[in-house]
Structure 1
């Protein structure tokens, strides 16, 4: 094994037979002879490890934890499978990648116990993975999109339009053998903030652009491995919420952190209503959904709460 030191360490682990690119964040004073509580991270759609994981990894390491952030299959620096295309972030594979990340952490002698921390779509990934992976001892979800039914299916006509577009994209790619890249949220890598907000239809346009846009703090210019363009058949899986459907089967103690003022709050509150396990709920009025991605006050509030919960 490569010598590991405090801070960020570049590692890989196997999933679907290929090496996924990962960063392992170790706490200050790291001693491989000791054991540490460890976190497997799950990021928002369609992020890479240099976004949320690069923010939460150092924060959790500063609180004494080991944190693993990684690029899912076909994302960032992780390869796609032979004959497949990049930017193909499918829910079922995200869950299996997470299971393999847990297996990788289980091989490290300094890992004491493993917890899961997901942000936005990552919350759904962690919740879904934890249903049948009890190697994950506790889970925390920040601005989590676990209860997607009310959020994504409230307008059935729009959902069916998404499905039709995704079906057509899948057929096109099968017939041509070429990728069909689209901008899932209407934001491409060249748009200005004014153009994106002016396009309308996105109540989170401003804060989303400030993070993901061309000029955003973690957009395609700031993070070269990131793009707002994504494979066109994504909707066929993103419209299925496993975490919500199996919420009553989750046995691990759970922490749900969200913005009470965000229109995505229902994705957390309706998930909480379905839980039958031990859980804690922490709602903030002063932060938005995206604030928890990178704004110092919001990140501190969430990571402090997560550290206390995992240490309890």
Structure 2
């Protein structure tokens, strides 16, 4: 297919099906030249029209090739035959990422491949990078790499999540039908006041992006909804990357906000790394503001571009 500067719709194989992605190419793109390429891994439960659609053009404007894509069963990417949409399982996300790297590496104009993970995308990228050394450098923004302390803080709540996920898994097995729920408590019809009143941590910050009146909520992004397959917790509670952090050899940049409740997911990971990571903090931004706030996105993408260009 003919590729051109800007956004290009592409597909690549993973688990035998075609995942759908957006390949962002720099201004003046020339397929006879060589470019540094970035695989972008997105927050849960996002589609490519959200954070990848923000970071893709920004990184292309800085001279990089950037691939954002819908993981298996998300957005425009199909589920496996006999399975269900919106089943974003961690183990498969890692393999999807490996296949995305294979796709980028196969392109004649790609020189090296780097990884840029935001929120849960940081955990996906960290896990994928442990044994995929085709990824030459990694950068994370508001990353959830070391998520155990954050996710398992209240064992009673965790046990409730697991019980619900187990029941959903059994229900789907017995009925053969998908079982969905509002995995982050927020539903597509809630007002900000209603969501904040639930007492959910980071409610206002979360709503600013995912709410029906949010920046990239269900009313503004095609193929996005806050509902999700209900057995999700059985895999999302397993934080793989942090337990292999000392095995990661690639140069690493960690960007986060010390004032965000999720900061511990970055700080605990930094402590486990043995590759002398670079760390950049921005007290003035929240966890979610790195998704879309212009000043936060500019700060993070400038830092990532400088790091990848070293």
* TM-score under structure 1 length normalisation: 0.99
| Residue 249 (structure 2) aligns with | 251
Q: Distance in 1 between the 2:285 and 2:273 partners?
A: 24
| Residue 39 (structure 2) aligns with | 40
| Residue 56 (structure 2) aligns with | 57
Query: Does the aligned pair in 2 maintain the 1:252–1:278 contact within 8 Å?
Result: no
1:203 Cα deviation after fit = 2.7
Matched, 1:280 2:270: no
SS at match of 1:210: helix
1:37 Cα deviation after fit = 0.3
Q: Distance in 2 between the 1:222 and 1:204 partners?
A: 21
| Residue 178 (structure 1) aligns with | 177
Q: Which moved more, 1:209-218 or 1:123-132?
A: 209-218
SS at match of 1:100: helix
| Residue 240 (structure 2) aligns with | 242
| Residue 220 (structure 2) aligns with | 222
SS at match of 2:194: helix
| Residue 168 (structure 1) aligns with | 167
1:294 pairs with one of 289, 292, 301: 292
Matched, 1:303 2:301: yes
| Residue 108 (structure 1) aligns with | 107
Q: Distance in 2 between the 1:155 and 1:71 partners?
A: 32
Q: Distance in 2 between the 1:307 and 1:224 partners?
A: 29
- The C-alpha deviation readout for 1:277-296, integer Å capped at 9, x for no partner, is 13101111100000100000
Structure 1 alignment gaps of length 5 or more: none
Deviating above 4 A after TM superposition, structure 1's stretches of 4 or more consecutive aligned residues are: none
2:263 pairs with one of 252, 262, 265: 265
| Residue 17 (structure 1) aligns with | 16
Q: Distance in 2 between the 1:185 and 1:126 partners?
A: 22
Query: Does the aligned pair in 2 maintain the 1:253–1:279 contact within 8 Å?
Result: yes
1:158 Cα deviation after fit = 1.3
- The C-alpha deviation readout for 1:35-65, integer Å capped at 9, x for no partner, is 0000000000000000000000000000000
Q: Alignment length, in residue pairs? A: 310
| Residue 192 (structure 1) aligns with | 191
